[in-house]
Amino acid sequence: MKKVILISLFFILAFLPLLNISQAQNSQNKDNIFQTKEDYYEHQIQVEKGLKDWFTYNPLEEDNTTIQLQNILQAYLLAWIMGAPHVNLAIDGKIEGELLSDKRFDYTQNLMLAMMFAKTTYLIENKNAKSTDFETNLAGVKGMLVIYKKIREQTKDKRKYRTDSMEKYLEWEKEGNLEKEVKRIVND
C-alpha cells in the first residue's frame, strides 16, 4: 500500500506541469472539455487516436513546436484518463518500480507515459480487462519498449539513455520470454 501511495505521489508531481498546461488552456477557453460523464464517452474516439498517435512522437524531439504539441496531447490524454468513469487505470509498482528508482535515466517520464497510454488503450479495447491483469501490464511493457527502442536507437551508447530495467525487458523480448517474465512479475 505504501508503495502504491509513493508511486501515486510521483505521478502527481511528475505530471503536474502537463496538467498546468491543460488548465491554462481551459482557463483561456473558459470551458472544461470534460464536464459530464457523456463528455468522456464523446471524446473516446479522439482519445483512442491520440493514444496511438502519441507513440509516433520522438522522445528526444528538439523542435519547440513539436514539443508543445506533444505536451498538449499528453495533457489532454491525462485529463481524460484521470476522469473517464469507465477506465480505471491503476499503477501498482510491480512493472515500473525498478524504472522509477533509476535516477540516472533521463526519460523515465516518457516511459511512464508510454506504459499508462498503452495500458489505457488495452483497457478501452478490452472492456472486461482490469488494470492489474497480466495482459494489461504486458501491453504497458510493450508500450514502454516502443519508446525505449526509439531512445536507444537515437543515442547509441550514452549511459544516461539506458536503464537496467528496460534493458532486462529488451533482453526478455529478444529471447522470446517477455510474456512469461511479465506474468511472473505481475503474479508475485
57 against 169, higher pLDDT: 169
**What are the distances in angstroms from CA 8 to CA 3, 13, 90, 125?**
8, 9, 9, 25
Convert 107-144 to b/e letters by CB count within 10 Å (16 or more is b): bbbbbbbbbbbbbbbbbbeeeebebebbbbbbbbbbbb
Residue-wise pLDDT tens digits, 112-135: 999 999 999 999 999 999 999 999
Residue-wise pLDDT tens digits, 51-82: 999 998 887 888 888 889 999 999 999 999 99
Residue-wise pLDDT tens digits, 125-168: 999 999 999 999 999 999 999 999 998 888 876 766 788 889 99
Calpha distance 60→129 (Å, rounded): 32
Residue-wise pLDDT tens digits, 27-59: 334 357 888 999 999 999 999 999 999 998 887
Q: Residue 61 in contact with residue 67, Cβ under 8 Å? A: yes
The ranges assigned to domains in the chain are 2-30+43-187
Per-residue confidence (pLDDT) for residue 58, from 0 to 100: 80
- The 8-class DSSP code of residue 36 comes to S
Give the residue from 161, 171, 86 showing the smallest Cα distance to 130. Answer: 86
Per-residue confidence (pLDDT) for residue 25, from 0 to 100: 46
Task: Please determine, for residue 13, whether its predicted confidence score (pLDDT) is greater than 80.
Answer: no
The grid cell for 119 is: 495500458
Per-residue confidence (pLDDT) for residue 160, from 0 to 100: 67
Q: Residue 14 in contact with residue 97, Cβ under 8 Å? A: no
Per-residue confidence (pLDDT) for residue 88, from 0 to 100: 92
DSSP symbols for 75-124: HHHHHHHHH-TT------STTTHHHHH-TT-TTHHHHHHHHHHHHHHHHH
Per-residue confidence (pLDDT) for residue 21, from 0 to 100: 45
| pTM: predicted TM-score of the whole model, two decimal places | 0.81
1 against 17, higher pLDDT: 17
Per-residue confidence (pLDDT) for residue 12, from 0 to 100: 42
Q: First CA to last CA across the chain, in angstroms?
A: 15
Mean pLDDT of 76-91: 92
Give the residue from 100, 112, 118, 117 showing the smallest Cα distance to 165. Answer: 100
